[in-house]
Amino acid sequence: MSQQEPNKSTEKSSSGFKTFFKGHLGKVIGGVIALILFLIITNPSLIPFLSANTKASLKNTWSKLGGDVSKISGALKINLVTLFQVIAIILMLVIITNLILFILNKLKPKKPKAKSAVSLAKSAISYIMTIIGIFWCLSALGVNLSTIFASVGIIALIIGFGAQSLVEDLVTGIFLVFEDQFNVGDIIEVNGFRGTVDSIGIRATCIRDVGNNVKIINNSDLRNILNRSTADSYAVTTVSISYKENLEHIEEVVSEFLPKIREKYPEVFVKDPVYCGVQELGESGMLLKFVALVKESNIFTAPRLLNREIKIAFDKAGIEIPFNQIVVHNADK
């Protein structure tokens, strides 16, 4: 056994790295190829095997479409060295990003707030690395970043008007985690949709219902939230019994088997189910009400188990549960 366990762990780690590289290598290669093609097409002078006439023709074509493209080469340091630097920067940031995501995916925090923080970090890392990559690549190409940062005030004003919802989603997502309104794994209800929080992202939150349907809601749209996981819930069920039955005898039977239900299903019921009495005098029988304190995740399971155990106990005690019947009277002619 001691010899097999290291092999299993080695296989798991190797399969994890295979999945990591297999899932992202295609994106990296595609992005690098697209960048190279764009730089070469817009700067014909970088293509070594073309003749001077062909380079001039391509330059004139781009000048007619988008202006004098030679200004691009003049403003940017575009050569094989800077091209290599840009490719190296992109590859390095992609590898760092995915390594961080790989580590975060391996983390299994136990506390709900820690789960939410990890979920938010996984969503934010891609945005952060993208912004770092853009400025780093511009710096490698010779762009004066001081001029860009000097214009941050104007850019912030434009973003403020043009991306208000994006900023609102970002700020709301951060406050959701730090204010502990709800966490990953909590069961919440938003605008009539009830489900378990799968992830809290920098822009949106994913909620999964009992049918395994995932609803993606922008963080700024998360209003009037009902967090059902903050406290235990009460599962309720009612059972009808015939009027001809002795109610006192039924209550004796109920007091005997109710504690056994929690003993049988300790993972579902927090406390012993409680008999509340006669809820209603119906048309065909008396409605008895039962409640049980359960976790919100078992709010639908508990009534089904209660109904099952009550039916079995009543059958053993000979207590009749009425059903609709049609009585036909034949009048004498």
Give the chain's domains with CATH numbers. Answer: 11-153 (no CATH), 171-227 (2.30.30.60), 233-317 (3.30.70.100)
**Percent above pLDDT 90 for the chain:** 8
Residue 207 pLDDT exceeds 80: yes
Closest CA to 257 of 314, 205, 297: 314
- Using one digit for the tens of pLDDT, what is the confidence trace for 71-124? 555 555 666 777 788 888 888 888 888 888 888 888 877 777 777 778 878 878
Burial of 239 (0-12, 13-18, 19+ CB in 10 A): buried
Q: What is the per-residue pLDDT for 145? A: 65
Cβ pair 122, 104 in contact under 8 A:
yes
- Beta strands 204-208 and 214-218: pairing type? antiparallel
Q: Is the pLDDT of residue 289 over 90?
A: yes
| Predicted confidence (pLDDT) per residue in 103-117, tens digit | 888 887 777 777 777
Distance between CA atoms of 292 and 299, rounded to whole angstroms? 9
CA distance 107 to 323: 54
Which residues are paired to 195 by β-bridges?
188
